Chains A and B, each alone.
Chain A
Amino acid sequence: MLSVKGLRANVGDQEILKGLDLEVGPGEVHAIMGPNGSGKSTLSHVLAGREGYRVTAGSVTFVGQDLLALEPEERARLGLFLAFQYPVELPGVNNTAFLKAALNSLRKARGEPELDAVAFLRLIKDKLRVLHLDESLLKRPVNVGFSGGEKKRNEIFQMALLEPRLAILDETDSGLDIDALRGVAEGINALRAPERSMILVTHYQRLLDYIQPDYVHVLAQGRIIRSGGKELALELEEKGYGWIDAELAA
């Protein structure tokens, strides 16, 4: 599904990703953990196609295509989804109109007919119910005046609607209290499917109490320095990130 090989990327003159390798198969859930500044968010952004990053080496293949050659919207249409760490507010942009434009652009790319207003409303109301979200959300401008938890849940709601092949969840747990975290995690678990892969990017282990990953990777100084099963997350929780510095220094 996703194959990252030797990826190097700069922000300005500074190299953030220094030869990163990652293979994600269909239906797999990978957790990428690492301390602040290790390159977690850079990886998410480079995969989604955000401006401001320069890839200097390596390749990224997604469902057989050269991902880095594509515009952000083309990546989304191939089935890539990024749940933002800091979802932006879009003043004046109605949530329903936004969701409809997004879904229809994806459907069009897949060769499916656009949904009419009635069918669309029925669909989003179903999805809202599954995620225990209030319908009033639809009438508001995208993320404007939403609490931190509401913004994160709105990301998961979009993911539920857009049904990506690969979802990258960037620090989805940050800023959430335990109840909000549980709600968001439930939403994510409900979306696990044999054909849907996920990358959970997180600093803390606590999200993984609710979402069990198949693989855990430790990202440090722009490279994945260790990979393992879910028990690796527990080890990190126990030892913190301090040992990494020691290991890298060695």
Chain B
Amino acid sequence: MNAPLAQGLEHWLPAPDAGPDWLKERRQQARACLSAQALPHSKQEAWRYTSLKGLLEQRFRAIDALPSVVRREDLAAVLIPGLDAHRVVLVNGRFAPELSALDELPDGARVGGLRDWLGRDPESLRDRLDAVRGESNAYFALLNTAGLDDGLVVWLGAGVRLERPLELIQLSVGLDEPRVAQPRHLVQLEAGAQATLIERYVGLGASPYCTNAVIEVALGRAARLRHERLQMEGHNAFHLAGVYVVQDADSHYAGLHIGLGARWARTELNTRFRGEHAEAVLQGLYLAGDGQLLDYHLDIEHAVPHCRSAEGFKGLLIGQGRAVFDGRVLVAKGAQGSDAAMSNRNLILSEQAEIDTKPQLEIQADDVRCSHGTTVGQLEPELLFYLRSRGIDAAQAQRMLCLGFAGEIIDQLGSEAVRGQVAAVIEQRLDEGSGSGASDDGAFEPAPDVSRRT
């Protein structure tokens, strides 16, 4: 038996330890790694700008018995009107089949809850689950593995195309005590398969909660995934996410990251090419206001020749908002003909806001095309004057320019309904000036006829 984890993180792990033996072993290994590691601290480069203090103070605990308090009517509040999608809903990290809509999937597409899948067909996951995360020693991804329990599994057979997007709603309901959910998602597209995944994080109620999610994506030869992540957690939430992508030859991954919610959100994006001529395009947009820290860490690994990666992240900082962009591209020895471009552009609208941005290229091959750049600036007075000279007041002019800045990323979202929703939230946040925008309505109140499921 291992020593208990530091700082009460022991309580993040659910009991009992269920599932097949190989899974128990994997959890055990992750636990052992954690016991042997110190907690992340500010002397580590990846944690230079962030402190765990606020998170640890909350004393989060895993949810042992899930209260199934969310009904279809409650779900309506978090749906995006007009978004036509296959839908999977997780409530506090637990797959909720009664809220999901998966009956129109094409042949060759299997989508379901991880826990159910482990119960029915554990062998099919043995070599896949946790394989993309691989040997990463990222602390919170290990913690997720040590508590691996439920989440989403998507498997598309060779050549299968999902015409409609698959929407994954991860709804966190504020409970009477601070709870943590650690969902694990596995998305596997076999050769030539194509899909759009819209991964959304939303909260109901204002109580603090924590999400520590890991998503593993494996793209087969020439598979294509558009992966839109919309982080709109409640304003007292903590959001930790590790996104691990591995790409075979000729595959294409388009990641779009929208970060608007949470008190602290840390997103770690890891992309690794293992076949030639694969392509990864990662774009992001974050808006940080009072009391918010949005923290992005990118690790792009060109391990083989002739792949292309492009990362473009944009940030809006208002009030006392803070953000971190820490991007790293590694072009390994022998990865000739690699093409990598990374940019991070920020607009700071207040003197109290702060951005720490640090793109890095590490190039060990000699025949490559790589670039990176960052900008941090304020709205240009000439642009504001132009709008005001047409009768538009200063506040609206500022909002229009910010939305214009954000628009470059918003326009990349595949669905009109999603674009509208994201633009509306940003506009509302800019209107409010600084706050994180969620209403302060206390813990989520379930409808009176609550049913409980354990």
Cβ B394 vs Cβ A93 within 8 A = no
Judged by a CB distance under 8 angstroms, whether B118 is at the interface is no
Chain A residues positioned under 8 Å from B397 (CB to CB): 73
Residue of B nearest to A102 (CB): B390
Cβ B404 vs Cβ A71 within 8 A = no
Residue of A nearest to B385 (CB): A50
- Docked Cα-Cα span, A109 to B387, in Å, equals 16
- Docked Cα-Cα span, A98 to B384, in Å, equals 12
Cβ contact of B407, chosen from A92, A106, A109, cutoff 8 A: A92
A102-B392, A106-B391 known; A141 and B404 CB under 8 Å? yes
Judged by a CB distance under 8 angstroms, whether A130 is at the interface is no
- Docked Cα-Cα span, A88 to B397, in Å, equals 14
Q: Mark B369-411, 1 if CB is under 8 A from A, else 0.
A: 0000000000011110111111111101100110111111000
- Docked Cα-Cα span, A50 to B389, in Å, equals 8
Q: Mark A76-99, 1 if CB is under 8 A from B, else 0.
A: 110001101001101111000110
A88-B383, A90-B383, A98-B400 known; A76 and B408 CB under 8 Å? no
Chain A nearest CB from B204 CB (Å) reads 32
A50-B385, A84-B386, A98-B387 known; A93 and B401 CB under 8 Å? yes
Cβ B386 vs Cβ A76 within 8 A = no
Judged by a CB distance under 8 angstroms, whether A162 is at the interface is yes
- Docked Cα-Cα span, A206 to B397, in Å, equals 35
A90-B401, A93-B404, A101-B396 known; A76 and B382 CB under 8 Å? no
Judged by a CB distance under 8 angstroms, whether A197 is at the interface is no
Residue from B388, B401, B407, B408 with most neighbouring chain A CB atoms (10 Å):
B388
Cβ contact of A92, chosen from B381, B392, B406, cutoff 8 A: B406
Cβ A73 vs Cβ B400 within 8 A = no
Chain B residues positioned under 8 Å from A106 (CB to CB): 391
Cβ B383 vs Cβ A105 within 8 A = no
Chain B nearest CB from A163 CB (Å) reads 12
Cβ A91 vs Cβ B389 within 8 A = no
- Docked Cα-Cα span, A141 to B411, in Å, equals 13
Q: How many residues of A contact B (CB 8 A)?
A: 29
Cβ A162 vs Cβ B405 within 8 A = no
Chain B residues positioned under 8 Å from A88 (CB to CB): 380, 382-383, 386
Cβ A105 vs Cβ B393 within 8 A = yes
Cβ A71 vs Cβ B394 within 8 A = yes
Judged by a CB distance under 8 angstroms, whether A247 is at the interface is no
Judged by a CB distance under 8 angstroms, whether A48 is at the interface is yes
Judged by a CB distance under 8 angstroms, whether A72 is at the interface is yes
Chain B nearest CB from A75 CB (Å) reads 8
Chain A residues positioned under 8 Å from B407 (CB to CB): 92-93
Judged by a CB distance under 8 angstroms, whether A213 is at the interface is no
Chain B residues positioned under 8 Å from A149 (CB to CB): none
Chain A nearest CB from B258 CB (Å) reads 16
Cβ A93 vs Cβ B400 within 8 A = yes
Cβ B401 vs Cβ A102 within 8 A = no
Residue of B nearest to A104 (CB): B391
Residue from B381, B385, B401, B405 with most neighbouring chain A CB atoms (10 Å):
B385
> Which A residues from 41 to 56 make CB contacts under 8 A with B?
48-51
Chain B nearest CB from A114 CB (Å) reads 12
A98-B387, A101-B392 known; A91 and B404 CB under 8 Å? yes
- Docked Cα-Cα span, A80 to B404, in Å, equals 26
Cβ A76 vs Cβ B391 within 8 A = yes
Cβ B381 vs Cβ A90 within 8 A = no
> Which A residues from 123 to 145 make CB contacts under 8 A with B?
141
Cβ B381 vs Cβ A91 within 8 A = no
Chain B nearest CB from A68 CB (Å) reads 15
A51-B381, A98-B400 known; A90 and B387 CB under 8 Å? yes
Chain A residues positioned under 8 Å from B406 (CB to CB): 92
- Docked Cα-Cα span, A50 to B401, in Å, equals 18
- Docked Cα-Cα span, A48 to B390, in Å, equals 10
A93-B401, A101-B396 known; A76 and B390 CB under 8 Å? yes
Chain A nearest CB from B345 CB (Å) reads 11
Chain A nearest CB from B431 CB (Å) reads 14
Cβ contact of B390, chosen from A50, A92, A141, A162, cutoff 8 A: A162
- Docked Cα-Cα span, A50 to B381, in Å, equals 9
> Which B residues from 333 to 392 make CB contacts under 8 A with A?
380-383, 385-392
Judged by a CB distance under 8 angstroms, whether A158 is at the interface is yes
Residue of B nearest to A108 (CB): B391
Cβ contact of A101, chosen from B381, B400, B408, cutoff 8 A: B400
Chain B residues positioned under 8 Å from A75 (CB to CB): 389
- Docked Cα-Cα span, A102 to B392, in Å, equals 6
Q: Mark A4-30, 1 if CB is under 8 A from B, else 0.
A: 000000000000000000000000000
Residue from A76, A81, A87, A97 with most neighbouring chain B CB atoms (10 Å):
A76
Cβ A72 vs Cβ B396 within 8 A = no
- Docked Cα-Cα span, A9 to B66, in Å, equals 71
Cβ B400 vs Cβ A91 within 8 A = no
Cβ contact of B388, chosen from A71, A97, A141, A162, cutoff 8 A: A71
Residue of B nearest to A109 (CB): B391
Binding site for A on B (CB under 8 A): 380-383, 385-394, 396-397, 400-401, 403-408
Query: Assuming A49-B385, A73-B397, what are 9 further A-B pairs, CB within 8 angstroms?
Result: A82-B389, A90-B386, A91-B404, A92-B407, A93-B404, A101-B392, A102-B390, A105-B390, A105-B393
14 contacts between A and B (CB under 8 A): A50-B385, A71-B388, A72-B385, A72-B388, A73-B388, A73-B389, A73-B394, A73-B397, A87-B386, A90-B383, A90-B387, A92-B404, A92-B405, A102-B391
